[in-house]
Amino acid sequence: MMRIRDIGPAVSFTWDGKRLQGQVGDTLASALLANGQRVVARSFKYHRPRGIFTVGSAEPNALVTIGSGAAQDPNIRATVQEIYPGLEARSQNRWPSLGFDILAINDLASPFLSAGFYYKTFMWPRSFWEKLYEPFIRRAAGIGALSGQHNADHYEKAFAFCDLLVIGSGPAGLAAALEGARAGARVILAEDDARMGGRLICDNALLNDAAAGDWVDAALAELAAAPNVTLMPRTAVTGAYDGGTFGAIERVGLHLPHQPELPRETFWRISARRAILATGAIERPIAFANNDRPGVMMASALRSYLHRYGVAAGQQVVIFTNNDDAYASARDLEGAGVQVTLVDARADAVAPAGFAGRFIAGAQVCDTRGRMGLRAVQLRHGDGRTEWTRADCLGLSGGWNPSLHLACHMNGKPQWDEGLSAFLPVPGMVPGLDYAGAANGQYDTAACLAAGQTRARAALGDLGLSLPAAADLPKTPQAAARPMLPLWQVPGKSRAWLDFQNDVTTKDVALAARENYTSVEHMKRYTTQGMAPDQGKNSNVNALAVLADVTGRSIAQTGITTYRPPFVPVSLAALGAGAQGAGFAPQRFTTSDAASRAMGAPMIEAGLWYRPSYFPQAGETHWRQSCDREVGYVRNAVGIADVSTLGKIDIQGPDAGAFLDFVYTNMFSTLPVGRVRYGLMLREDGHVMDDGTTARLGPDHYLMTTTTAAAAQVMKHLDFVRQAHCAQMQVAFTSVTEEWAQFAIAGPKARGLLQQLTGQALDGADWPFMACGPIALGDVQGRLFRISFSGEMGFELAVPARFGAALFDRLCDMARDLGGGPYGMEALNVLRIEKGFITHAEIHGRVTGFDIGMQGMLSRKKDFIGKAAASRPGLLEDGRELLVGLRATNGSLIAGARLFTQGSDAVRTADQGYITSVAYSPTLDASIGLGFLRNGRARMGEVIRVKDHLRGVDILAEVCNPVFFDPEGGRARD
């Protein structure tokens, strides 16, 4: 192996810690080859030394780890990774080193490690699997590993749109893209490789009697200059999905020294009106004994390394082929001064013109030698005679498989073509996707160019674009290939590899068949053939051909496994781009957020909102101390809480009242202007959806309040009801949650605070309990609601949100002067539990109005959503679990605990109910809670057993009225 031609300036990188030189334009694979690095990996199961096998995306062997630390990236194909200054690459699945790997002992144990080994061996004892076997197997058989650390690198996702997506930039793809460009279509040309051109830049081919690369450069220049064309190199289309959507992964920064702001990769969703699959074909190997040695490569790869990277992969090369294509590799290597032996399995083969090396027709390669790198290959001649010949490199060509995977992603099945010995795509497998070139079994350059042009023109014509006359295609040399000889395996005793990545041999396939896994899908799963990063790109057709052979079926009868996305590995970091950590969900902040945080309040999430849990003060060491103090503010002075997160829906129109009557169980059309009423809303199935207060701001104007959690659900529900049931009503509504910053001002001194703030008396005659109306704060027009979620004298004051931050500061200052201050969600929860007010802890979706003691709110005078369903007898039985209060007689209640009759066993069949909310009430100095108890309303005073099996709580509690404090409600009124 050596560099025979420079391709660019030197680039320094490290391999397993060793500093090496490559050149600009190298992949890691070409640079390692140029440096004589024969072993680059250890195989998955047997830890066999492996070398670079291919030149492109389908590489099964050369999986390496790039980088170190948190961002280390395992299982990167060395054939895809471009080198850059400082690139740090390491081999994987070896210990202690690539050269000496302890677990290579597995190779000696291969008779035991055949297909189905795990299934048969580790059946018993059952518990050993997770504790012993699996960790051991994971260690012994595997590929690269993640760092286990948080990855701070930047990845991104994006959308793109085009008329014509061309997948692949070989002759077919370029011809197709040029047609799109000239027709004025929006074209995206996606190419997995860093450079466009496909095999045109890998072969020593001629177009228009000049180097094919010249034509490629001219075509790319024309495409780059066209404003309607987007060239996307380093972008592998990974999947075909419904509606003309294609997934694609773009390597944006993976080929460059790390730049923190540059995405490493972008995952694209490309919406294409039409697409052309021009992905070429993948050369297939041939199975024979020990065909996995370092130095065994694909024949076409040899010539790619030679022409594109200036690297000769060997000095003594044997080419083993069953078709004409590999002749070019033999000729080109010989031209570069390499000693080449050409072995053609076809008995009637004739040495290519001008080839001076040894040519053997009708022979096969049947074995190899050289554990750490190929030393010799054994030939079996047509007459059965065998000989060993020295070789440091063996190029294989068993024919070509059209790269049609994307065409199969919507469950279409390709068809076996006997003449080409290949599966070909059939029309219509993916709507809007057509095929051109080698992906469609057209292997010679002229056919590829012509197909790219005609298929693109057909697609563009479908789109109704007017097309200029087709331009002349470049002239190609005449080529007449003789038919290939199907050859999948060479008989032999030793293991012959099919799937290099998963260490699956012809024996494994035969074993699977013997054990009756004769379906191709079963064989795949039993042997693991075609799994892992390469998804069987090299091995799939070979494996099923071997399966067909051992089961006595044709390949067409055997069929092909299902290809699914992604076509190439896609990093989870790219798929989840932007969703790490806080990016997982948007954050909603109230206008008081900054002030609350400045006061040291821990924030808790409520849906997407962040709300203060409590406001700690100096000397407080436990949240309960803060919470108890804040409850005291409200019970004894005045507390301030931001309640802006509750949903607010503005409802207007002549039929607004009628609409509310229909969505609420109780009446709102009769509510006087300037008054607020509590409302209960049911789902169609009769269960409670939400509750809240609705204010009447004007004759045709209401303002509905929802809970924070159900704001979106209620809005959606109202939209549905309006459109589906009330289309004739004159009503319109919109969310005004965000327009208003709203603060609860609660406690005996609430009115005093507001008098001081507004200069108005706000006495009980003008502003009784459940009054509402406009109020001026200087120039600011606000709204005031006399409502209470604490049971105290309470107001909620709303101002346009731009004033929210300032008003919150003002209210907190004023409250402090009155012996109060802000209170958080913890105190708010205690206050409402003391009053028996429900939240979604209670109305959790499975309870009815009857269950929560609000059956009386279900009006008999009118129809409303959920009325019929709520009247079902089963929903009105006394034996149902009904809302009760609970007061612990010893210990502390715990939410989620189950309730049992005292003295009964705490078993499921004796279950009597459960606890939904608990609090320590500083007002009552008691552990109290709300819960649901069978026939609970008839069991007041009973002492019941509270048991939480998970957390080990087993105490007693007295059943009581859910309103623990001020049951008459006098404190909220004047």
Partner 1 sequence: MTDQAMTLPETSPAAGLLPQSMGRMTLTEWAQMPITWVGLLSTDVAAASADLQAQIGAALPAPGQSLPCTGGHILWAGMGQALVMGTALSSVAGASVVDQSDAWCALRLSGPDAPAIMARLCPLDLGFDQFEEGAVARSLIGHMNGIIWRDGADSLTVMVYRSFAQTLVHELTHAMRAYAARLALA
Cα–Cα nearest to 485, from 381, 365, 363, 345: 345
Cα–Cα nearest to 454, from 119, 179, 855, 147: 179
Look at the chain and count its residues. 974
CB of 156 to partner 1, least distance (A): 6
Tell me the helix, strand and coil percentages in the chain, rounded to 5.
Answer: 25, 30, 45
Please say whether the dihedral angle defined by the alpha carbons of residues 117, 123, 129 and 132, taken in this order, is positive or negative: negative
Give the contact letters, 233-252, x = binds to partner 1 (CB under 8 A), - = no: -------------------x
Q: Which stretch binds partner 1 (CB under 8 A): 552-560, 737-745, 835-843, 887-895?
A: 737-745
Shorter beta-carbon distance to partner 1: residue 105 or 608? 608
Q: Which stretch binds partner 1 (CB under 8 A): 68-76, 421-429, 666-674, 802-810?
A: 802-810
Give the contact letters, 604-643, x = binds to partner 1 (CB under 8 A), - = no: -----x----------------------------------
- Out of 10, 585, 868, 938, point to the residue binding partner 1 (CB under 8 A): 585
End-to-end CA distance of the chain: 96
For 853, list phi and psi in degrees, rounded to 5.
80, 20
Q: Which residues of 862-967 form beta strands (DSSP E)?
A: 881-888, 898-901, 913-921, 926-934, 943-948, 953-960
- Out of 21, 88, 147, 156, point to the residue binding partner 1 (CB under 8 A): 156
85 binds partner 1 (CB under 8 A): no
CB of 577 to partner 1, least distance (A): 9
- Out of 130, 209, 242, 261, point to the residue binding partner 1 (CB under 8 A): 261
The Cα 75–Cα 213 span in angstroms is 31
The Cα 25–Cα 309 span in angstroms is 7
Read off the DSSP letter of residue 747. S
Query: Is 150 exposed, middle or buried, given 0-12, 13-18 or 19+ CB atoms closer than 10 A?
Result: exposed
256 binds partner 1 (CB under 8 A): yes
The Cα 117–Cα 917 span in angstroms is 53
Shorter beta-carbon distance to partner 1: residue 719 or 974? 719
259 binds partner 1 (CB under 8 A): yes
Shorter beta-carbon distance to partner 1: residue 272 or 447? 272
CB of 588 to partner 1, least distance (A): 4
Q: Which stretch binds partner 1 (CB under 8 A): 398-406, 416-424, 482-490, 588-596?
A: 588-596
- Out of 779, 863, 925, 968, point to the residue binding partner 1 (CB under 8 A): 779
The Cα 493–Cα 496 span in angstroms is 9
Number of DSSP helices (H) and strands (E) in the chain, helices first: 23, 51
CB of 81 to partner 1, least distance (A): 18
Which two three-digit tokens encode residue 287?
Answer: 């199975």
Inter-residue contact 62 to 50 (CB < 8 Å): yes
Cα–Cα nearest to 158, from 227, 232, 84: 232
- Out of 737, 790, 917, 923, point to the residue binding partner 1 (CB under 8 A): 737
807 binds partner 1 (CB under 8 A): yes
- Out of 206, 599, 805, 869, point to the residue binding partner 1 (CB under 8 A): 805
The Cα 332–Cα 302 span in angstroms is 9
804 binds partner 1 (CB under 8 A): yes
Whole-Å CA distances, 716 to 249, 392, 704, 710, 974: 36, 71, 14, 10, 38
Please say whether the dihedral angle defined by the alpha carbons of residues 632, 634, 638 and 643, taken in this order, is positive or negative: positive
806 binds partner 1 (CB under 8 A): yes
Q: Which stretch binds partner 1 (CB under 8 A): 468-476, 521-529, 793-801, 923-931?
A: 793-801
CB of 751 to partner 1, least distance (A): 13
Buried b (16+ CB within 10 A) or exposed e, 481-508: eeebbbbbbbebeebbbbbbbbbbbbbb
- Out of 110, 147, 271, 519, point to the residue binding partner 1 (CB under 8 A): 271
Shorter beta-carbon distance to partner 1: residue 479 or 736? 736
Which two three-digit tokens encode residue 735?
Answer: 């969310």
Q: How many residues bind partner 1 (CB under 8 A)?
A: 59
The Cα 807–Cα 802 span in angstroms is 10
Q: Which stretch binds partner 1 (CB under 8 A): 350-358, 521-529, 596-604, 725-733?
A: 725-733
Cis peptide before 257 (omega within 30 of 0): no
576 binds partner 1 (CB under 8 A): no
Shorter beta-carbon distance to partner 1: residue 337 or 578? 578
CB of 123 to partner 1, least distance (A): 46
Q: Where are the alpha helices (DSSP H) in 423-564?
A: 445-462, 506-514, 520-527, 540-551, 555-558
Shorter beta-carbon distance to partner 1: residue 10 or 585? 585
196 binds partner 1 (CB under 8 A): no
- Out of 210, 732, 907, 940, point to the residue binding partner 1 (CB under 8 A): 732
Q: Which stretch binds partner 1 (CB under 8 A): 10-18, 462-470, 806-814, 881-889?
A: 806-814
The Cα 59–Cα 51 span in angstroms is 10
802 binds partner 1 (CB under 8 A): yes
Shorter beta-carbon distance to partner 1: residue 233 or 674? 233
Shorter beta-carbon distance to partner 1: residue 33 or 160? 160
Q: Which stretch binds partner 1 (CB under 8 A): 302-310, 343-351, 373-381, 807-815?
A: 807-815
Inter-residue contact 160 to 188 (CB < 8 Å): yes
Q: Which stretch binds partner 1 (CB under 8 A): 311-319, 401-409, 469-477, 796-804?
A: 796-804
- Out of 206, 336, 575, 777, point to the residue binding partner 1 (CB under 8 A): 777
CB of 728 to partner 1, least distance (A): 8
736 binds partner 1 (CB under 8 A): yes
Query: Is 952 exposed, middle or buried, given 0-12, 13-18 or 19+ CB atoms closer than 10 A?
Result: exposed
CB of 433 to partner 1, least distance (A): 20
Residue list 643-702, contact with partner 1 (CB under 8 A): 650, 652-654
475 binds partner 1 (CB under 8 A): no
586 binds partner 1 (CB under 8 A): yes
Cα–Cα nearest to 118, from 129, 107, 103: 129
The Cα 720–Cα 739 span in angstroms is 23
Shorter beta-carbon distance to partner 1: residue 160 or 289? 160
768 binds partner 1 (CB under 8 A): no
- Out of 146, 147, 241, 269, point to the residue binding partner 1 (CB under 8 A): 269
589 binds partner 1 (CB under 8 A): yes
383 binds partner 1 (CB under 8 A): no
Q: Which residues of 787-848 form beta strands (DSSP E)?
A: 794-800, 821-822
- Out of 257, 477, 578, 845, point to the residue binding partner 1 (CB under 8 A): 578
Shorter beta-carbon distance to partner 1: residue 322 or 592? 592
Inter-residue contact 189 to 230 (CB < 8 Å): yes
Beta bridge partners of 44: none
Look at residue 653 and give its three-state secondary structure: coil
Inter-residue contact 782 to 741 (CB < 8 Å): no
Shorter beta-carbon distance to partner 1: residue 199 or 783? 783
- 49 dihedral zone (left: phi>0; alpha: psi -120 to 50; beta): beta
Query: Is 44 exposed, middle or buried, given 0-12, 13-18 or 19+ CB atoms closer than 10 A?
Result: buried
Which residues sit at the interface with partner 1, rule CB under 8 A? 154, 156-161, 252, 256, 259, 261-263, 269, 271, 578, 585-591, 609, 650, 652-654, 730-740, 755-759, 777-780, 799-807, 810, 814
